[in-house]
């Protein structure tokens, strides 16, 4: 029998690794481009050869600090690196430089909308910096399985964000990640792509009886490469643990992997936590007030503030302002289009109802398309001049995402031009009226519904290209004078 989930409450905390988009690695001058050809970006420091001394990257500390400010954290006056000791083929030096005892920042929060749409703050326990490990690539050579090591990622700068166990449902965990991603992208410190691996999420899940405070043994789930997967994995794990408890089995601390094809979690290993000892080679980071003030000034306008400003400055519907502010490049695009003469309410409506859904469908960022504010403004001006109608404008907009050329050229090429020519429209209307004498008679007897029917026929005869306003005028005029 499936367990009664109302008996239990899920307690969810997340640990999120985010790769900072710095030019170089955390402790050396090698390029921070883990996706390049294997082992292109290595040196004695990031190959972890004995005796090589790490040099902390100032840019990595700046980007990490920007991220912490975007998450409303308090930066520690003093933070320091520890050696987190464990041995694994992707970490041959035997320890990872990470901030365990003195993290970079503490006590932040991210705001989400809960299932009823009410704002809810989810707390962040701390944020620390650490170096990434190398990447293991498993292949076969002849019949033998072999493992290769790619050191491009070794020493790449990461921050790890550890939340409080504040989330109670897959929905809240997914909303948290979306909101976190928006804040971090806006801060300019990371691309935060689960698909590309620049954001990696571990979820800690335990169950308890609602109303009790105790935190039970948690299970860690890894290997989710989309926000949707995180939600699915948490939902699956909640049911699995409830079934264990119903059977009277105890839950042990361990790590499980999400299998996106089978849509289940499978046990991976006992969770291992090695000792952490202070590292003597990297200097302590001391926050200087003047430095921090300068970083604070560099923090771009954050989504919540941007939404408020756009709504007030351009008199927009709040939902449209909020939606555009989630993506910094979309909000910039909106303001650029308005700067080119598009009416703010028109630009906002087209961006939120046509452009943003199209980008989501294509899984593309605005910058990856060929649409520019200039071309967008050009298209909407064709619409305003009634040279194309709204349906055609929408199709042309979609074409412009992947196609060069002025809006006029694309409109002409695709035959989207609206027919406004009086003589052409008159012939259309006259033909329709001549071919439907019974309906015309009906209309003259006082059945107003026939008008829409005749209008539809005329529009169809024009293959949808007639200027609807002029067509309507012409049809009423003709019917009146019959
Ligand atoms: Zn290096």
How far does residue 29's CA lie from ligand 1's centre (Å)? 6
How far does residue 83's CA lie from ligand 1's centre (Å)? 18
Question: Does residue 57 contact residue 81 with C-beta atoms inside 8 Å?
Answer: no
Q: Which stretch, 2-6, 70-74, 109-113, 451-455, has highest mean pLDDT?
A: 70-74
How far does residue 191's CA lie from ligand 1's centre (Å)? 22
How far does residue 153's CA lie from ligand 1's centre (Å)? 10
How far does residue 26's CA lie from ligand 1's centre (Å)? 9
How far does residue 332's CA lie from ligand 1's centre (Å)? 36
How far does residue 78's CA lie from ligand 1's centre (Å)? 26
The predicted model scores a pTM of 0.77
Which pLDDT band, with edges at 50, 70 and 90, does 6 fall under? Answer: low
How far does residue 53's CA lie from ligand 1's centre (Å)? 11
How far does residue 292's CA lie from ligand 1's centre (Å)? 28
- pLDDT at position 275 over 60: yes
The residues, any chain, with a CB within 8 Å of residue 397's CB and separated by 6 or more, are: 350, 354, 355, 358, 371, 376, 379
Q: What is the pLDDT of residues 379-429, one digit of tens each?
A: 999 888 888 888 888 988 999 998 888 888 888 887 777 777 778 888 888
Question: What was the pLDDT predicted at 259?
Answer: 85
Question: What was the pLDDT predicted at 83?
Answer: 95
How far does residue 278's CA lie from ligand 1's centre (Å)? 22
The residues, any chain, with a CB within 8 Å of residue 275's CB and separated by 6 or more, are: 85
* DSSP string across 185-252: HHHTS----TTTTSEEEEEEEEEE-TT-------EEEEEE-SHHHHHHHHHHHHHHHHHHHHHTPPP-
How far does residue 33's CA lie from ligand 1's centre (Å)? 11
How far does residue 23's CA lie from ligand 1's centre (Å)? 12
- pLDDT at position 372 over 70: yes
How far does residue 306's CA lie from ligand 1's centre (Å)? 39
3-state secondary structure of 447: coil
How far does residue 22's CA lie from ligand 1's centre (Å)? 14
How far does residue 97's CA lie from ligand 1's centre (Å)? 14
How far does residue 273's CA lie from ligand 1's centre (Å)? 27
* DSSP string across 242-308: HHHHHHTPPP--EEEEEETTTTEEEEEEE-----EEE-SSSPPEE--HHHHHHHHHHSPPPHHHHHH
Q: What is the pLDDT of residues 319-344, one digit of tens each?
A: 899 889 888 889 999 999 999 999 99
How far does residue 44's CA lie from ligand 1's centre (Å)? 6
Question: What was the pLDDT predicted at 2?
Answer: 57
Question: Does residue 160 contact residue 16 with C-beta atoms inside 8 Å?
Answer: yes
How far does residue 24's CA lie from ligand 1's centre (Å)? 8
How far does residue 276's CA lie from ligand 1's centre (Å)? 23
**b/e for 426-435, b at 16 or more Cβ within 10 A?**
eebbeebbee
Q: What is the residue-averaged pLDDT of the chain?
A: 89
How far does residue 30's CA lie from ligand 1's centre (Å)? 4
How far does residue 42's CA lie from ligand 1's centre (Å)? 4
DSSP strands (E only) in 103-156: 105-113, 119-131, 135-141, 144-150
3-state secondary structure of 1: coil
Question: What was the pLDDT predicted at 479?
Answer: 83
Q: Which one, of 437, 431, 434, 464, lies nearest residue 450 by Cα?
A: 437
How far does residue 152's CA lie from ligand 1's centre (Å)? 8
Q: What is the pLDDT of residues 64-110, one digit of tens each?
A: 999 999 999 999 999 999 999 988 888 888 899 999 999 999 999 99
3-state secondary structure of 167: strand
Question: What was the pLDDT predicted at 269?
Answer: 67
How far does residue 314's CA lie from ligand 1's centre (Å)? 49
How far does residue 150's CA lie from ligand 1's centre (Å)? 13
Question: What was the pLDDT predicted at 134?
Answer: 93
3-state secondary structure of 432: helix
Question: Does residue 334 contact residue 351 with C-beta atoms inside 8 Å?
Answer: yes
Which pLDDT band, with edges at 50, 70 and 90, does 3 fall under? Answer: low
How far does residue 32's CA lie from ligand 1's centre (Å)? 9
Question: Does residue 256 contact residue 264 with C-beta atoms inside 8 Å?
Answer: no
């Amino acid at each position: 029998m499936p367990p009664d989930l109302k008996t239990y409450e899920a307690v969810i905390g997340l640990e999120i690794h985010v790769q900072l988009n710095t030019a170089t690695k955390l402790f050396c001058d090698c390029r921070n481009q883990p996706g390049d050809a294997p082992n292109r970006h290595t040196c004695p420091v990031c190959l972890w050869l004995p005796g090589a001394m790490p040099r902390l990257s100032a840019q990595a500390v700046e980007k990490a600090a920007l991220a912490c400010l975007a998450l409303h954290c308090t930066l520690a006056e003093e933070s320091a690196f520890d050696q987190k000791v464990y041995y694994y083929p992707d970490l041959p030096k035997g320890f990872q430089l990470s901030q365990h005892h003195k993290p970079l920042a503490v006590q932040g929060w991210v705001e989400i909308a809960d299932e009823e749409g009410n704002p809810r703050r989810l707390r962040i326990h701390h944020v620390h910096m650490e170096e990434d490990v190398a990447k293991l690539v498993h292949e076969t050579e002849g019949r033998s399985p072999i493992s290769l090591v790619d050191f491009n990622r070794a020493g790449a700068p990461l921050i790890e964000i550890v939340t409080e166990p504040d989330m109670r449902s897959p929905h809240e965990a997914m909303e948290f990640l979306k909101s976190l991603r928006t804040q971090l992208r806006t801060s300019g410190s990371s691309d935060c792509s689960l698909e590309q691996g620049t954001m990696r999420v571990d979820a800690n899940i335990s169950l308890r009886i609602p109303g009790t405070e105790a935190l039970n043994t948690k299970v860690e789930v890894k290997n989710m490469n989309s926000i949707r997967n995180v939600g699915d994995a948490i939902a699956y794990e909640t049911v699995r643990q409830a079934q264990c408890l119903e059977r009277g089995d105890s839950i042990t601390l361990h790590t499980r992997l999400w299998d996106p094809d089978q849509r289940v979690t499978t046990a991976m290993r006992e969770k291992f936590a090695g000792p952490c000892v202070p590292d003597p080679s990297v200097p302590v980071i001391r926050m200087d007030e003047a430095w921090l003030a300068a970083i604070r000034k560099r923090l771009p306008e954050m989504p919540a503030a941007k939404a408020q400003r756009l709504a007030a400055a351009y008199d927009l519907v709040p939902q449209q302002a909020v939606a555009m502010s989630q993506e910094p490049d979309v909000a910039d695009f909106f303001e650029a289009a308005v700067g080119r003469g598009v009416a703010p309410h028109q630009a906002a409506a087209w961006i939120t109802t046509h452009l943003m859904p199209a980008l989501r469908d294509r899984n593309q960022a605005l910058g990856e398309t060929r649409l520019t504010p200039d071309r967008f403004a050009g298209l909407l001006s064709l619409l305003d001049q009634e040279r194309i109608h709204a349906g055609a404008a929408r199709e042309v907009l979609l074409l412009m995402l992947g196609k060069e050329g002025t809006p006029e050229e694309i409109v002409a090429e695709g035959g989207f031009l609206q027919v406004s020519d009086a003589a052409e429209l008159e012939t259309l209307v006259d033909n329709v009226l001549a071919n439907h004498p019974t309906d015309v008679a009906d209309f003259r007897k006082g059945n107003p519904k026939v008008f829409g029917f005749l209008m539809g026929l005329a529009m169809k005869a024009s293959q949808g290209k007639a200027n609807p306003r002029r067509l309507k005028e012409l049809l009423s005029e003709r019917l009146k004078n019959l």
